[in-house]
Amino acid sequence: MKKNKEKFLPNRITQTETFYLNALPEVVFPLFGPIAEKKWADSWNPEIVYSETGELERNMVFKTYGFKNGKTVYLWMVSYLNFKETEVVYTVSSKNRIWTIHVDCNVMETDPTKTAVEVTYTYVGLNKKGDKQNRKALKAKYQYNLKDWEESINYFLETGEKLKVST
């Protein structure tokens, strides 16, 4: 006799935060590309799978590996890119979940020499394990409301060096 298996209904969770950088959008926007991010992001080491130019481009594909054990593979794709509007969307997937990261850079209204960066993560679980991982990932990602990104990027903009993060 077959067991009546309960159908999984995926959950979608999202969060947006804004932080501020000490340069104009045309200066900071390229720093959100997978290669340029290595200049400021600690432990960021993407492996390019597909690229026609080697630079940030639409449909570029790359992968990263989980921070804890290095075994989890995350497959990334640049699903939307608009240099003029300084906006990019990444679609990321793994075995248990899929998510998007939307980065939108705009001149700060109160200080036109700075950039307001709005970042939205939207997660969807592909199974119960994925839903659980998503809740944990969102909490960890926004633990500091992306002020850790702000500090690292502003440090890079000021010094040209990567901020050393203590562990």
pLDDT in tens, the chain (167 residues): 556 567 889 899 999 999 999 999 999 999 999 999 999 998 899 999 999 998 999 999 999 998 766 689 999 999 999 999 999 999 999 999 999 999 999 999 999 999 999 999 999 999 999 999 999 999 998 999 999 999 999 999 999 999 987 65
In the 8-state DSSP scheme, what is residue 163?
A: P
Give residue 166's pLDDT: 63
Cα torsion 40, 70, 13, 83: sign: positive
SS3 per residue for 5-46: CCCCCCCEEEEEEEEEECCCHHHHHHHHCCCHHHHCCCCCCC
Which structural domains are found in the chain, ordered by start? 17-159 (3.30.530.20)
Phi first, then psi, for residue 116 (nearest 5°) are: -95, 125
Radius of gyration for the alpha carbons in the chain, expressed in angstroms and rounded: 17
Instruction: Kindly report the pTM of this predicted structure.
Output: 0.91
Q: How many residues in total does the chain contain?
A: 167
Contact partners, residue 137, CB within 8 Å, separation at least 6: 99, 121, 123
Q: Report the C-alpha gap between 74 and 64 in whole angstroms.
A: 5
Q: Report the C-alpha gap between 167 and 60 in whole angstroms.
A: 31
Contact partners, residue 138, CB within 8 Å, separation at least 6: 13, 15, 121, 123
Give residue 54's pLDDT: 86
